Amino acid sequence: MTEHLPAAQQDVTLLELVDRVLNKGVVLTGDITLSVADVDLVYVGLRVLLASVATLEQPETGGA
Amino acid sequence: MTSPATPPAARESGSGWYVYGVVPAAQVSGDVFADASGVHPPGHVVLVADADLAAIASTVPLSEFGEAAIAENLHDAAWLEDKVRAHEAVLEAALARAPLVPFRFGTIYRNDEQVRQMLREHSGLGETLERLQGTFELGVKAFLDAAEFDRRHGDEPDAAQAEGGRAYLLRKQRDRKVGEARSSFAAACARDSHEALTAAAEDGRANPLQRLEVSGRAGEMILNGAYLVRTEREEAFREAVAALESTYRGDGVRYEVTGPWPAYNFVTTDSEQ
């Protein structure tokens, strides 16, 4: 889905994606071995990804 | 015995069933996922069905996805990006074909019978699928470029012409006024945008704004919205975004649309399902 987008755009999409996949969606409790419900963990995840995004984003930030 | 640095304690062995989401059993066949390798390649992504509902699932080793292991792996950017993208890719394979209830990352069951039991116990999933039929989610973020706003709204000829201490005071006063004007503009623009977009959609959510460093964008985020849009109204929705853009571009506002996404923002996040 992101293949044709420029790198900076892809990074933004990645953040959107992480925000959704880690933060939203149905959480069912019950006999589950794991549910990433801890908001702090989500934030940690975002921070970790940002570090890698920052290094990717240098060159192109769109025209104009 | 004194406690050593984090015992490798609860590293589990064996495997579990990772569930990506739920679809109506009648509308999706397993071969839709033939190209998706899932969060643990080359694991096969399959449908685990019970009555009308089917869970999209694949087996994962608990040495990597068990509770202790996954908490550790979340700190590994490469691992996380890889798995998050894989989770999304599986859901996107089904997105165009059927309504879909996306699960949050890392929902794991001990075995396929427990997955079926989950489907039986949460009858609300079926109602959610009906509600989501024919829709997907679009994300819209709005960013305000403060410098651009100030250029347009900061003209105060008095300050430009005055000299010395008076000029300083006038400038300070002007900056404060522009700052105040900018915040109230941002709030009004966000409200107007969210209302217009929600009207063009089935439903809308204004999520907490992300800080600058997290958004990875120049400009202050003033709207972080998610909208549930009927597939046949996508064009009209995008036109609504374009209309907002032309209204507010002069003030330094830019809009960014992402998606289509599974309806992550329009399913309940707790176990009421």
Query: Is B212 domain-assigned?
Result: yes
Interchain contact B66–A (C-beta under 8 A): yes
Query: Is A12 domain-assigned?
Result: yes
Query: Is B9 domain-assigned?
Result: no
Cβ of B214 within 8 Å of Cβ of A15? The answer is yes
The ipTM (two decimal places) reads: 0.82
Give the relative orientation of helices A7-23 and B77-95 as an angle to the nearest 10 degrees: 80
Residue A16 DSSP one-character state: H
- Bridge partners of B138, per DSSP, are B227
Cβ of B77 within 8 Å of Cβ of A41? The answer is no
- The answer on B179 and B102 residing in a single domain is no
pLDDT score of A39 more than 60:
no
Closest residue in A to B125 (Cα–Cα): A26
- The answer on B262 and B146 residing in a single domain is yes
What range defines the domain where residue B72 resides? 15-130
Interchain contact A15–B (C-beta under 8 A): yes
User: How many domains does chain B divide into?
Assistant: 2
Structure tokens at B124: 């609300």
For chain A, the residue count is 64
Q: What is the CATH number of the domain that holds B161?
A: 3.30.70
Cβ of A44 within 8 Å of Cβ of B74? The answer is yes
User: How many domains does chain A divide into?
Assistant: 1
Closest residue in A to B21 (Cα–Cα): A26
Of the candidates B67, B102, B215, which has its C-beta nearest A25's C-beta?
A: B102
- The answer on B260 and B150 residing in a single domain is yes
Minimal CA separation from B135 to chain A, in Å: 16
B contacts of A41 (beta carbons < 8 Å): 71, 74
Minimal CA separation from B169 to chain A, in Å: 35
Query: Is A61 domain-assigned?
Result: no
Interface of B with A in 227-246 (CB under 8 A): none
pLDDT higher at B117 or A36: B117
Q: Which of A21, A40, A55 to mutate to test the interface with B (most CBs of B within 10 A)?
A: A21
**Distance from first CA to last CA of chain A, Å, rounded?**
25
Cβ pair B19, B107 in contact under 8 A: yes
Cβ of B258 within 8 Å of Cβ of A15? The answer is no
Query: Is B52 domain-assigned?
Result: yes
Query: Is B4 domain-assigned?
Result: no
Which of B96, B130, B164 terminates a domain? The answer is B130
Interchain contact A56–B (C-beta under 8 A): no
- The answer on B216 and B109 residing in a single domain is no
Query: Is A14 domain-assigned?
Result: yes
In this predicted structure, what is the pLDDT of residue A10? 58
Burial of B13 (0-12, 13-18, 19+ CB in 10 A): exposed
pLDDT higher at B178 or A51: B178
Of the candidates B70, B122, B216, which has its C-beta nearest A11's C-beta?
A: B216
Which of B85, B100, B130 terminates a domain? The answer is B130
Query: Is B67 domain-assigned?
Result: yes
Cα dihedral A10, A15, A16, A18 in deg (nearest 10): 120
Query: Is A47 domain-assigned?
Result: yes
- The answer on B185 and B261 residing in a single domain is yes
What range defines the domain where residue A15 resides? 7-22+32-56
- Cβ contacts of B80-84, under 8 Å, gap ≥ 24: B80/A18, B80/A45, B80/A48, B80/A49, B81/A14, B81/A18, B81/A49, B81/A52, B83/B39, B84/A14, B84/A17, B84/A18, B84/A21, B84/A22
- The answer on B210 and B164 residing in a single domain is yes
Which of B113, B130, B147 terminates a domain? The answer is B130
In this predicted structure, what is the pLDDT of residue A53? 45
In this predicted structure, what is the pLDDT of residue B158? 56
In this predicted structure, what is the pLDDT of residue B5? 46
Of the candidates A15, A41, A45, which has its C-beta nearest B216's C-beta?
A: A15
Which pLDDT tens digits describe chain B residue by residue (273 residues)? 444 444 444 567 888 999 999 999 999 998 899 888 899 988 799 999 999 999 999 999 989 988 778 878 877 888 888 999 999 999 999 998 899 999 988 888 888 999 999 999 887 999 999 999 999 999 999 999 988 998 888 765 555 566 778 888 888 888 888 889 999 999 999 999 999 999 999 999 999 887 655 555 668 899 999 999 999 999 999 999 999 999 999 999 999 999 999 999 999 755 555
Interchain contact A4–B (C-beta under 8 A): no
State chain A's mean pLDDT as an integer: 57
In this predicted structure, what is the pLDDT of residue B258? 93
pLDDT higher at B28 or A18: B28
Closest residue in B to A49 (Cα–Cα): B77
Of the candidates A12, A33, A52, which has its C-beta nearest B217's C-beta?
A: A12
Closest residue in B to A52 (Cα–Cα): B77
B contacts of A54 (beta carbons < 8 Å): 216
- The answer on B114 and B19 residing in a single domain is yes
Cβ of B81 within 8 Å of Cβ of A52? The answer is yes
Query: Is A2 domain-assigned?
Result: no
In this predicted structure, what is the pLDDT of residue A64? 34
